[in-house]
Amino acid sequence: MPGTPSVPPHGNRWFHRRVAIPAALAVAVLTVPAVSPASSAPSVPSVSSAPAPSAVAAQPRHTPKPTVVLVHGAFADSSGWSGVVARLRHDGHPVIAAANPLRGLDSDAAYVSSLLDSIPGPVVLVGHSYGGEVITNAAVGHANVKALVYIAAFAPDQGESGLALVGLNPGSQLGEALVVRPYAVAGGGGADGYVDPAKFRSVMAADLRGSDTELLAAQQRPVDLAALQAPSGVPAWRTIPSWYLVAGADRAIPAATEKFMARRAGANTVVVDDASHLVMLSHPGRVENLIVQAAKATD
């Protein structure tokens, strides 16, 4: 496996420079009981207002559906989940599409972890692409996370990085499409990775219309390259049941690598043969179906 490339230094000479390094993409409905109409018959005094034991036993038990938390990957934002969110909400699931900061693996995982702290009840935690790395770390120690769902995502073991995994098997075109731009913030800065707009559709979304991918390319959110180089911690998939959707025509993370990670995690796996890396946009129904399977398994 090739060594992990270092993040380029600051300076104008790196502006818009393309570098051939592999990178991860990666990136409650309230039920109101019916009220019986008042009877027109004269009222009869009742000995007791408490229901009979048989009536209590006959009442159905209502179990709230788990909250689905969706974590996007690099070069994207939470709007990429829109089609999946609409379907989940239609099926009665509370949904939160988290705003993954894309600034560093540790800090991104800490952000999502703090979000999980605020959610009462069970959670199904879903990650796409680099978002898979984030959920793998964020879910550790959270007893309310009942299932992990990886959508064409990294599911790293301890010590692995996204960059190492993307080069595990041939087939990724992401490295040659990467554009690096330095950025500055108060107290420091770093180097952001973007996908070259001219190559965005081919690498990321070959099964979407060109007009749609032009917008996605222009609106992409960059990832700090240091996030893709950071080693992952102890993986949550060792103790939390997982599901995995393999995008069979993925040109960002090779399908062979996705299948390897799914097998290693012991994940319940489905393969969408013709799907690109942005499978949640091209096949939102298939993605939602897998999430619902995971949610039902938490009952």
Question: For 211-237, how does the pLDDT look when each residue is reduced to its tens digit (9 = 90+)?
Answer: 999 999 999 999 999 999 999 999 999
Residue 298 has what pLDDT? 87
Residue 299 has what pLDDT? 78
d(CA 146, CA 141): 11
Q: Are 287 and 129 in contact (CB under 8 A)?
A: no
Residue 63 has what pLDDT? 63
d(CA 72, CA 54): 49
The length of the chain, given as a count of residues: 299
Residue 62: pLDDT above 70?
no
Residue 1: pLDDT above 70?
no
Estimate the crossing angle of helix 82-90 against helix 284-297, to 10 degrees. Answer: 50
Residue 37: pLDDT above 50?
no
173-190 per-position pLDDT tens digit: 999 999 999 999 998 999
244-280 per-position pLDDT tens digit: 999 999 999 999 999 999 999 999 999 999 999 999 9
Q: Are 248 and 275 in contact (CB under 8 A)?
A: yes
> What six digits make up the tokens of 76?
């994207």
Residue 55: pLDDT above 90?
no
d(CA 143, CA 234): 16
d(CA 71, CA 130): 9
200-211 per-position pLDDT tens digit: 999 999 999 999
* CA nearest neighbour of 25 among 279, 284, 294: 279
Residue 72: pLDDT above 70?
yes
Could you tell me the pLDDT band of residue 7, with boundaries at 50, 70 and 90? very low
d(CA 57, CA 55): 5
Mean residue pLDDT across the chain: 85
* CA nearest neighbour of 258 among 176, 195, 169, 177: 169
Q: How far is CA 125 from CA 138, 150, 164, 218, in A?
A: 9, 9, 24, 28
Residue 41: pLDDT above 70?
no
Handedness of CA 147, 160, 190, 172 (dihedral sign): negative
Residue 26: pLDDT above 90?
no
From 56-65, 76-85, 187-196, 276-285, the region with the lowest mean pLDDT? 56-65
119-148 per-position pLDDT tens digit: 999 999 999 999 999 999 999 999 999 999
Residue 293 has what pLDDT? 98
The mean pLDDT of 73-84, rounded to a whole number, is 98
Residue 46: pLDDT above 90?
no
Residue 64 has what pLDDT? 84
The mean pLDDT of 20-37, rounded to a whole number, is 36
d(CA 190, CA 167): 23
> What six digits make up the tokens of 210?
């060109």
Q: Are 257 and 246 in contact (CB under 8 A)?
A: no
Q: Provide the percentage of residues in the chain whose pLDDT is more than 70.
A: 79
Q: How far is CA 19 from CA 9, 10, 83, in A?
A: 13, 14, 33
